[in-house]
Amino acid sequence: MTEPRIAIIGAGIAGLSAAEQLRGVAAVTVIEKSRGVGGRMATRRSDGAAFDHGAQYFTIRDARFHAAMHPLLDAGVIEAWNVPLSSIDETGTVARLADRAPRFVGVPTMTAIAKTMTQSLDLRLGVRVLSLTGEPGRWHLETDGGQLGPFDWVVSAAPAPQTLDLLPLADTDREAVAGVRMNGCFTLMIRLGTEAVPVPAASRVDHPVILWVAANNTKPGRDPETCLIVHADNRWSEDHLQDPPEIVKQLIFSSFRQLFPQLNPDTAVSLELHRWRFANVAEPLGRPLLIDTDRRIAACGDWCIGNRVEAAFLSGLELGERLRTDISSERR
Ligand SMILES: Cc1cc2nc3c(=O)[nH]c(=O)nc-3n(C[C@H](O)[C@H](O)[C@H](O)COP(=O)(O)OP(=O)(O)OC[C@H]3O[C@@H](n4cnc5c(N)ncnc54)[C@H](O)[C@@H]3O)c2cc1C
């Protein structure tokens, strides 16, 4: 009996975690619209500097996530980011926050984790899936690079609004996915060169414009050059999603300077802005995965259960396990 063919749309950690579970039971093809893997666990390289401009770190709470990450810890692909966590209020006053779970990052960049998970996968990078055609069990993917398929199953591991556009969902599933709420976020990347700066390594910020500030160079395995990450507040970002990027950039930078007036703005070597249209989950689906065994379509991602890297990984893992079980029982 030949292995079933499964297409997974999206090479973020959810899609890659699902693919991992299907090794040996299905022929999996992962299709990713970006040129690299990792999705929102992202790293931007610019002029020799590197910024983790999406997920800043992750925590490991679930035993299954721990089991999967442990070999990567042993291999040095993941390390703890042991810096104090601070809070900064609107006046720029810094206070130390109580640390709870240890924080982990990919080394030398956040994308290192996804890169490790794609080894020996059939991965199509730079291919955007536009729609599905065909029928259950014989799906074709229409992409900006031509048609792929046929596939027995199609899994969307893209954010909820994109999944809604892609999959021919049954009415009840469509309604459920439409109820998921995801917020946008702007990230400002500030490169300060070798300038010593009075910015704490990792800070939650209580400010109408800014939510988070971190010194990327304090993470293990990074270049020493000062590279700051500034995440804008989600509500503020949503209100400015359609504004010209140059204006958004300057608004965030001037708020940042209010918080750190000691910083000489002329020392900024470069300022870059990234717009995350679907950054984090305000209202999740409320179950770990979506599956329609009649239509042979399924979905996973952080938006199913939470708002974090771990939630995305577990959603993909549970979907992969579920498909593996279904495939094995069909073969009996
Ligand atoms: C600014 C920011 C800060 C964050 N900070 C943290 C943090 O500190 N800690 C934490 O735990 N989490 C954090 N998160 C959340 C975390 O990054 C996500 O929960 C997790 O990475 C989501 O993984 P995913 O696989 O579900 O989705 P994604 O990573 O979004 O992966 C989906 C993939 O699908 C691809 N795709 C979409 N549509 C198509 C298409 N039509 N064709 C082909 N490919 C497609 C996308 O390009 C993407 O690569 C942060 C997120 C952002 C944006």
Distance CA 288, CA 278 (A): 19
The arithmetic mean of pLDDT across residues 71-94, rounded, is 95
Structure tokens, 285: 């689906």
Cα 47 from Cα 68, distance rounded (Å): 34
Beta carbon of 276 within 6 Å of any ligand 1 atom: yes
Helix (H, G, I), strand (E, B) or coil at 16: helix
What is the residue-averaged pLDDT of the chain?
A: 95
Decide if pLDDT at 332 tops 80.
no
Band of residue 23 on the pLDDT scale cut at 50, 70, 90 = very high
What ranges do the domains of the chain cover?
1-37+118-180+284-332
Determine if ligand 1 sits within 6 Å of the CB of residue 42.
Answer: no
- The verdict on the CB of residue 289 being under 6 Å from ligand 1 is no
Closest residue to atom 11 of ligand 1, CA basis: 308
H or E segment at 237?
helix 234-240
User: 308: Cβ below 6 Å to ligand 1?
Assistant: yes
What CA–CA distance (Å, rounded) separates 230 from 321?
A: 37
CB of 233 shorter than 6 A to ligand 1: no
Catalogue the E-assigned strands of 34-107.
Answer: 44-46, 49-51, 78-80, 85-88, 94-96, 104-106
Cα–Cα distances (Å) from 104 to 67, 69, 82, 197, in that order, read 14, 10, 8, 24
pLDDT score for 265: 74
Give the distance (Å) from ligand 1 centre to CA of residue 295. Answer: 26
Q: What is the predicted pLDDT for the residue at 329? A: 87
Confidence of residue 49 (pLDDT cuts 50, 70, 90): confident
Q: Which of 13, 37, 40, 315 to mutate to test the pocket of ligand 1 (most atoms within 8 A of CB)?
A: 40
Predicted pLDDT of residue 6: 98
H or E segment at 243? none
Measure Cα distances from 74 to 61, 69, 254 in Å.
18, 9, 42
Protein residue closest via CA to atom 19 of ligand 1: 308
Q: Which of 273, 309, 317 to mutate to test the pocket of ligand 1 (most atoms within 8 A of CB)?
A: 309
- Cα 32 to ligand 1 centroid, rounded to whole Å: 12
Instruction: Categorize the per-residue pLDDT at 330 as very low, low, confident or very high, splitting at 50, 70 and 90.
Output: confident
- Which amino acid makes up residue 275? R
Q: What is the mean pLDDT of residues 301-323?
A: 97
Structure confidence at residue 85 as a pLDDT band (50, 70, 90)? very high
Residue 100 scores a pLDDT above 80 = no
What integer is the mean pLDDT of 231-255?
97
The helix/strand/coil state of 91 is: coil
202 or 262, which is more confident?
Answer: 202
Cβ partners under 8 Å of residue 268, min gap 6: 190, 191, 192, 253
Q: Is the pLDDT of residue 7 over 90?
A: yes
CATH topology of domain 1-37+118-180+284-332: FAD/NAD(P)-binding domain (3.50.50)
Give the distance from CA 72 to its chain's centroid.
Answer: 18
pLDDT in tens, 271-307: 999 999 999 999 999 999 999 999 999 999 999 999 9
Residue 193 has pLDDT above 80, yes or no: no
What is the percent of the chain with per-residue pLDDT over 70, rounded to a whole number? Answer: 99
Q: Is the pLDDT of residue 237 over 90?
A: yes
Per-residue pLDDT band for 308 (boundaries 50, 70, 90) equals very high
Q: Is 277 helix (H, G, I), strand (E, B) or coil?
A: strand
Q: What is the pLDDT of residue 262?
A: 85
**3-state DSSP: the chain helix, strand, coil percent, rounded to 5?**
30, 35, 35
Do 132 and 139 touch, CB atoms closer than 8 A?
yes
Are 198 and 283 contacting, i.e. CB atoms less than 8 angstroms apart? Answer: no
Give percent of the chain with pLDDT exceeding 90: 88
Cα 278 to chain centroid distance, Å, stands at: 10
Query: 159 and 39 in contact (C-beta within 8 Å)?
Result: no
Between 316 and 100, the higher pLDDT residue = 316
Q: Name the closest-CA residue to atom 8, ligand 1.
A: 56
Identify the CA nearest to 300 among candidates 189, 187, 160, 103: 160
Average pLDDT over every residue of 251-261: 94
Nearest CA owner, ligand 1 atom 31: 12
Q: Residue 197: which pLDDT band, with cuts at 50, 70 and 90?
A: confident
pLDDT-based confidence at residue 21 (cuts at 50, 70, 90): very high
Which amino acid, 203?
Answer: S
**Residue 18 — very low, low, confident or very high, per pLDDT cuts 50/70/90?**
very high
The dihedrals phi and psi of 19, each to the nearest 5 degrees, come to -60, -40
The DSSP secondary-structure symbol of 195 reads -
